[in-house]
């Protein structure tokens, strides 16, 4: 009876430790921060809804890191990374679309000039 009790305690302790000591997601935090700076480089800002979402999650992840709630920090940081990458892709898309619109306008102008040149 005593020996089985001894065997149970370490296993139980291990389970508890596993929960409390989720490793600190430092690598993920770095990845997420990099995704943010890449997004800033192409001019992403709070006007993009996904960016605001990402920023909120990043701040909450950073707070969770301070209080050592590592599981929570990792989940938030992973989501923030993809949110901000989506925001970046949307901005790049908008820019590209604007460029296409400008080219179309330029074509219209050229065609008009061609028509009016005798």
Partner 1 sequence: MMRLAFSLAGLALMISLTTGCASSTTTQQALQDAKSRYASIKTDSEVLRSAPKDVRRAEETLDKAEQLASYWGSSKDARHFAYLSQRYSDIAQEHANLRSSQDKATQLQLQIERLQLKLREKELRSARERNVWLTDQLFNLGTSQTERGLVMTLGDVLFAPGRSQLNPTANETVLKLAQFLQINPKREVRIEGYTDDSGDGDRNLSLSRQRAQAVAKALSTLGIEEGRLQVLGYGEDYPVTSNETAEGRAKNRRVEVVFSDENGDFVPAR
Task: Give the residues lining the site for partner 1 (CB under 8 A).
Answer: 75, 78-79, 82-83, 85-86, 89-90, 92-93, 96-97, 99-100, 103-104, 106-107, 110-111, 113-114, 117-118
| Residue placing its CB nearer to partner 1 in the complex, 62 or 89 | 89
Residues 90, 84: Cα–Cα separation, whole Å? 10
Q: Which is nearer to partner 1, 33 or 53 (CB)?
A: 53
Q: Smallest distance, Å, CB 95 to partner 1? A: 9
Nearer to partner 1, 46 or 117 (CB): 117
Contacts of 97-103 spanning 24+ positions with Cβ under 8 A: none
Helix (H) or strand (E) holding 73: helix 70-116
Is the separation of the CB atoms in 87 and 44 below 8 Å?
A: yes
């Amino acid at each position: 009876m005593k020996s089985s009790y001894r065997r149970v305690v370490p296993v139980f302790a291990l389970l508890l430790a596993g929960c409390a000591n989720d490793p600190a997601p430092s690598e993920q935090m770095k990845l997420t921060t990099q995704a943010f700076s890449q997004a800033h480089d192409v001019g992403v800002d709070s006007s993009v809804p996904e960016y605001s979402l990402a920023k909120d999650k990043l701040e909450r992840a950073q707070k969770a890191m301070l209080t050592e709630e590592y599981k929570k920090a990792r989940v938030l940081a992973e989501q923030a990374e993809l949110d901000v990458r989506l925001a970046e892709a949307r901005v790049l898309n908008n820019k590209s679309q604007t460029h296409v619109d400008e080219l179309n306008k330029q074509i219209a102008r050229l065609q008009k000039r061609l028509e009016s040149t005798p």
